[in-house]
Amino acid sequence: MAMRIVAETARLMGAERLIPIESAHIDGALYHGDSGTLFAERLVAGGAKTAVRATLNVGAIDLTGCSRNRLRPHELEMAKRMMIAYQQLGCESTWTCAPYQAGHRPRLGSQVAWGESNAVAFCNSVLGARTNRYGDFLDIACAISGRAPDYGLHRTENRRATVVFDLSHVDQKFLHSDVAWPVLGNLYGRLIGDAVGVITGLAFRPWEDILKAFGATAASTGSVGLFHVAGATPEAPDEATARHNTPAHERIIVTNEMLLDAQTRLSTADRADRVDAVAIGSPHLSVEEFDSLRRLLAGRKIAVPLYACTGRHVLRLLERDGHRQQLESSGVTIVADTCVVVTPILPEKPGAVLMTNSGKFAHYAPSNTGYSVLYGSMADCVESAVTGRPMFGAPTW
Amino acid sequence: MVSVQAEVLLDGPGTAATALALTAPISFWGGVDPRSGLIADPRHPENGQLIAGKVLFVPETVGSSSAAAILLELVHGKHAPAAIVLHEPDAILLLGLIVAKEMGYETPIALRLDREGFSALHGRTLRVSDRGLIEGA
């Protein structure tokens, strides 16, 4: 069945052959309804096993017990059965949307089959491994068969940047802040869609967590699977190389006004006078991001719930260093294995307002949780959690 | 009377249903409620409309790679469109139908047609043949 699914997809996408893959990241173990559980159990019943390393994206349940959800008994049961089925298929219990920060980093140029839109963008762009945007079912089918259809971003010619996204006219101080990159990602995703772009005009080398935030937001507003950053990502030592020395179809000169507009679009609750909850960690928080959170909180107690979503690879370190206890005594709820937009963790509250520093949460929270959103920096999120009111720092430009 | 020939991407039965032509790209995950088939993204222009039982015209898909799971769940719960017409084949979305067939569910036909023709079909009652011929009054 796995090979039939891979072959049928190859036919549909016009791929001429299947290629061997080295690893997979599986987005399919998140419960959306009983059908997904029944599919996974069908594979288990047939004796299927993964042929390559396969890490798991988030599930619907926090198996570490850090947080609780409001799934009804039937859904809880089916979601748990689904998570167990994927483990029985041989997948690693990583349960994170940032597998690349949990030790799964395929090498430059290797062929892989990854799911989860932010993981795909990071894997292609920052690691330089080659994957299409794999969806549920095809990801596990590729992991079991060890094969993927040869089309799209698996092929060198399709990794060429055709659009230049020029940041040289934008305030560099703003670009150096964590608040800038989801804003950039929102704009990039909307303007570039499914094309491959190269970002130019940065006066510094972007660090991993801001590229993670950028890719996640760009992949929510557009079908972005691969972006290049001239001088920073592995296939873009410079702009011309990213373009494969071929002229670009389009050059977008980004202005401060375009960024202000994108920043406004990230919020849906602009006139809110209170904040009901704060959520950070989409993609899952790294150890460094938890360090920022602890520094900003400085031991203060929060007035409204703050949900910090992460993977168990980070939770282990927080526990080792006593940071989990420290954060929880401030009132922070750590959410592991899952996150607040994929499973009902936020309290049910009509008209509630969620503050976040994540462009991806900002994009999906209104439809998935019913909360309207306010977008701000990590510092804004912490101050808002402490006071219960929207707190924004001075404009950066 | 309109009549256009679309390309069959995935086989399915012919149908007669109302056309719903989306005017903006959609993310099935987060954009469509898997339990009802209602468009649930408040920022989408067709927010609140039902895709179940319609001939659904999709100009572009965006967003999360969980679209296939939503579509499979819609098929499983009998809230799927009667036919899906895409501007271009999207492996992520169509996987939902490929797996639905493997599971033995009754699966709608998927077609390819240039999106320039979508708006002229919107709101009409269409007959879609199992060979991809779309006809409407």
- B-contacting residues of A 188-247, CB under 8 Å? 189, 193, 219-223
Which residues contact residue A103 at a Cβ distance below 8 angstroms, ignoring those fewer than 6 apart? A313
* Domains by residue range for chain B, with CATH: 2-123 (3.50.30.10)
- Interface residue of A4, A32, A41, A217 to substitute, partner B, most B CBs within 10 Å: A32
Nearest Cα of chain A lies from the Cα of B25 at a distance, in angstroms, of: 9
Per-residue pLDDT of chain A (397 residues; tens, 9 = 90+): 999 999 999 999 999 999 999 999 999 999 999 999 999 999 999 999 999 999 999 999 999 999 999 999 999 999 999 999 999 999 999 999 999 999 999 999 999 999 999 999 999 999 999 999 998 899 999 999 999 999 999 999 999 999 999 999 999 999 999 999 999 999 999 999 889 999 999 999 999 999 999 999 999 988 899 999 999 999 999 999 999 999 999 999 999 999 999 999 999 997 899 999 999 999 999 999 999 999 999 999 999 999 999 999 999 999 999 999 999 999 999 999 999 999 999 999 999 999 999 999 999 999 889 999 999 999 999 999 999 999 998 443 3
- A11 close to B (CB below 8 A): no
Angle (nearest 5°) at CA A141 between B41 and A39: 65
* Token code pair at residue A17: 């052959």
Residues A139 and A182 placed together within one structural domain of the fold: no
The verdict on a CB contact (< 8 Å) between B66 and A138 is no
From A241, A265, A289, give the residue that closes a domain.
A265
User: Contact, A378 vs A357, CB < 8 A?
Assistant: yes
The verdict on a CB contact (< 8 Å) between A368 and B68 is no
The reply to whether A15 falls in a domain is: yes
Residue with tokens 């401060």: A256
Percent of the residues in chain B that have a pLDDT greater than 70, as a whole number: 98
Residues A261 and A303 placed together within one structural domain of the fold: no
- B-contacting residues of A 108-137, CB under 8 Å? 115-117, 120, 132-137
From A265, A291, A310, give the residue that closes a domain.
A265
Rounded alpha-carbon distances, angstroms, from residue A220 to A67, A117, A119, A307, A309 = 25, 8, 12, 21, 18
Nearest Cα of chain B lies from the Cα of A33 at a distance, in angstroms, of: 6
The verdict on a CB contact (< 8 Å) between A223 and B76 is no
What pLDDT, on the 0 to 100 scale, is given for residue A396? 37
Among the listed residues B64, B65, B119, B129, the single catalytic one is B64
Chain B CB contacts of A268 below 8 Å: 42-43
Residue whose C-alpha is closest to residue B100's, from B73, B127, B131, B123? B73
What pLDDT, on the 0 to 100 scale, is given for residue A368? 87
Note the ipTM here.
Answer: 0.91
The reply to whether A73 falls in a domain is: yes
What pLDDT, on the 0 to 100 scale, is given for residue A130? 98
Q: What is the CA radius of gyration of chain B?
A: 13
CA A168 to centroid of chain Cα atoms: 26
CA A247 to centroid of chain Cα atoms: 31
d(CA A240, CA A161): 9
The reply to whether A272 falls in a domain is: no
Residues A21 and A81 placed together within one structural domain of the fold: yes
- Interface residue of B35, B47, B92, B112 to substitute, partner A, most A CBs within 10 Å: B92
Residues A150 and A7 placed together within one structural domain of the fold: yes
- A390 close to B (CB below 8 A): no
What pLDDT, on the 0 to 100 scale, is given for residue B63? 64
Query: Which CATH number goes with the domain that contains A368?
Result: 3.30.499.10
User: Contact, B24 vs B132, CB < 8 A?
Assistant: no
Would residue B64 show up in a list of annotated catalytic residues for this protein? Answer: yes
Chain B CB contacts of A363 below 8 Å: 30, 63
Ranges of residues in chain B with a pLDDT under 70 are 63-65
Interface of B with A (CB under 8 A): 9-10, 25, 27, 29-31, 34-35, 40-43, 60-70, 72-73, 75-77, 89, 91-96, 98-100, 102-103, 105
Angle (nearest 5°) at CA A224 between A219 and A230: 110
Q: Count how many pairs of residues, chain A against chain B, have C-beta atoms within 8 Å.
A: 133
Residues A190 and A106 placed together within one structural domain of the fold: no
- A33 close to B (CB below 8 A): yes
* Token code pair at residue A9: 């997809």
Q: What is the pLDDT of residues B42-75, one digit of tens each?
A: 889 999 999 999 999 999 987 666 889 999 999 9
What pLDDT, on the 0 to 100 scale, is given for residue B66? 82
Number of folded domains that form chain A: 3
The reply to whether A394 falls in a domain is: no
d(CA A260, CA A139): 37
The reply to whether A325 falls in a domain is: yes
d(CA A9, CA B74): 20
Residues A140 and A231 placed together within one structural domain of the fold: no
**Scanning every residue of chain A, which has its alpha carbon at the shortest distance from the alpha carbon of B31?**
A367
User: Contact, A59 vs A284, CB < 8 A?
Assistant: no
Residue whose C-alpha is closest to residue B10's, from A2, A137, A12? A12
Continuous segment of H or E residues that includes residue B17: strand B15-21
Domain, as residue range, for A205: 160-265
